[in-house]
Amino acid sequence: MNLKTLISEESLQKRIKELGNQITEEYKNKELIIICILTGAVYFATELTKYIDNTNLKIEFMKVSSYGNSTESTGEVKIKKDLDSSIAGKNVIIVEDIIDTGLTMHTLKRILLDRKPESLKICTMLDKKERRKVEINADYVGFDIPNKFVLGYGLDYEEYYRNLPYIAYCED
Ligand code: IMP
């Protein structure tokens, strides 16, 4: 594959630190649960939480199905791994790698709101707004990106390329 850099490692680090600082300010003296959506958001969530200065922070993991092996979202969300604890009455931020059509996040948000958190926000590393099929907006966005299939920093193509330390796109 002919990979080109879309977002460098340095730019990612700088932006993630900014988001961490912003979340620190907005959740001062509050308990916070970060829900990292497996597997794609692992790199982003671990880096982000290092910059959130809050000793009342917990990290939870959730795995939901989205694409399967094709590159189109079905809109159907299956929970493959659920949270280990209740989020009722808690301040929660969902941390996702990318919002594309928005179908996954739209459904996931509904599922989590049913569990009655005190607050629920969405933080996404990347946002491909022009691909949206349903109305969903993230509260924190790392980067708005064009309609390209991207890889790296947790994002995969058939499970490969997640370990690239930057965001790449494929030029054919
Ligand atoms: P959505 O339901 O269309 O918003 O899809 C969200 C999920 O699709 C993300 O969590 C990713 O796992 C995957 N996805 C969407 N766009 C890309 C991409 O450009 N590269 C890799 N995975 C992607």
User: Domains along the chain?
Assistant: 9-145 (3.40.50.2020)
Averaged pLDDT, 11-25: 98
**Ligand 1 mean position, distance from CA 99 (Å):** 6
pLDDT in tens, 153-170: 999 999 999 999 999 998
67's tokens: 């694409």
Structure tokens belonging to residue 63? 């795995």
For helices 42-50 and 9-26, give the axis angle rounded to 10 degrees. 60
> Which atom of ligand 1 lies at the shortest distance from residue 128's CA?
16
Is the beta carbon of 155 within 6 A of some atom in ligand 1? Answer: yes
Q: Is 170 exposed, middle or buried (0-12, 13-18, 19+ CB in 10 A)?
A: middle
> Do 51 and 17 meet the contact criterion of CB atoms below 8 Å apart?
yes
Which pTM value belongs to this model?
Answer: 0.95
Q: Which amino acid is at 10?
A: E
Confidence of residue 41 (pLDDT cuts 50, 70, 90): very high
Tens-digit pLDDT profile for residues 118-142 = 999 999 999 999 999 999 999 999 9
Biggest alpha carbon distance in the chain? 49
Residues across the chain: 172
**For residues 8-27, average pLDDT:** 98
Distance separating alpha carbons of residues 37 and 40, to the nearest angstrom: 7
Measured in Å, residue 81 CA sits from the centre of ligand 1 at 18
Atom of ligand 1 nearest to the CA of 73: 3
Ligand 1 centroid–CA 28 distance in Å is 31
100 catalytic residue (yes or no): yes
34: Cα within 13 Å, side-chain hemisphere: 29
Q: Which atom of ligand 1 is nearest to the CA of 96?
A: 10
124: Cβ below 6 Å to ligand 1? no
Residue pLDDT, tens place only, 61-81: 999 986 555 556 667 789 999
